[in-house]
Amino acid sequence: MKDPVIEVRDFRKTYGDFVAVDGISFEVQRGEIFGLLGPNGAGKTSTLESLEGLRAPDGGLLQVMGVNPARQSRKLRNVIGVQLQSSGLPDSIRVDEAMKFFSAYHGVAPRYDLLDRLGLAEKRSAQYHQLSTGLQRRLALALAVAHDPPVLFLDEPTAGLDVASRVEMHNLMRELQAAGTTIILATHDMAEAEEMSDRVAILLRGKIAASGTPLELTATGAGLTKVSVRTKGSSLSAPGVTFPAVSQQGFKDEYAIYFSTDIGPTVSAIIAHVEAQEDTLIDLRVERPSLEDRFLEITRTEGTNTGGAQ
């Protein structure tokens, strides 16, 4: 059953003559991680900041948990948590002070356990400017979830983080999701969006160019599936060897590489050919197009259709 927590209908945002967001509509369901993707200037920030109550829309309807962000800021602050891309904290504030400060304004007890959980236990007395970028982002996340908001906006949450911190951040996001938190994830990291998001929307020039689950998006593209094959002998390197549905092929690091528009017949034919030549298969890898491939395809196509870059 659908239970939309965020509703965006014909949302429009302009700055003078410039149309940043041009009548987009989407819904985010309770407990969903929704990825908002797009190149710089696509309208992501305008959309996010309007949902966060930082900007007033010029048209359409925005609702977060039934709250109008532009008109009900007092109610809104209790239902959303926001990890801003920029710091949002004074340089001289200490980590534990920041937790106490924001918790007090939300009327909740400080969640020092979150600082420990996010690896800030030893930095509780450090001032904000003394923290590394990664620690600053972790603190921002801890502050965003300290009042247990049902909706969480994350803007580039893992930018500047090392691998371990990134994994920890993703684990925390999954835990929050499991606890029923709805997460809006704005990111340039396509691997992160593909891994974490239940659904994504790709914004381009203020419009939604594509939306759906990462699997749906990657499946609907004209992207080619990459097949890499390594054999003991040289059955694949003989001149004139080709296979059904292969549009491009080549060799790299002892692998024969094929780009297929229809993976089933291609792989079957390769295996049959290797066996027929009495060769031995050492390795065969099939890599479907990633969300990043699909994203690049969409942005290139739209760029071509509208006459080039912005």
Contact between 87 and another protein by CB under 8 A: the answer reads yes
Which helix (H) or strand (E) covers residue 9, if one does? Answer: strand 4-15
Contact between 72 and another protein by CB under 8 A: the answer reads no
Is the Cβ–Cβ distance between 120 and 172 less than 8 Å? Answer: no
Give min distance, CB of 147 to another protein, in A.
8
Is the Cβ–Cβ distance between 289 and 221 less than 8 Å? Answer: yes
> Token pair for residue 167?
């994994």
Judged by CB under 8 A, which of 86, 247, 304, 305 binds another protein?
86
Judged by CB under 8 A, which of 40, 74, 163, 307 binds another protein?
74
Give min distance, CB of 74 to another protein, in A.
7
Look at residues 256, 261, 257, 235 and name the one whose alpha carbon lies nearest to residue 246.
Answer: 261
Span interacting with another protein, options 1-9, 78-86, 170-178, 187-195, rule CB under 8 A = 78-86
For another protein, the closer CB: 106 or 166: 106
**Near another protein in 9-68, by CB under 8 A:** 49, 52-56
Question: Residue 295: what residue type?
Answer: F
SS3 138: helix
Question: What is the number of other CB atoms lying within 10 angstroms of the CB of residue 243?
Answer: 20
Is the Cβ–Cβ distance between 57 and 206 less than 8 Å? Answer: no
Give min distance, CB of 47 to another protein, in A.
13
Contact between 82 and another protein by CB under 8 A: the answer reads yes
SS3 23: strand
Contact between 125 and another protein by CB under 8 A: the answer reads no
Give the footprint of another protein on this chain (CB under 8 A): 49, 52-56, 73-74, 77, 80, 82, 84, 86-93, 97, 100-102, 104-107, 127, 143
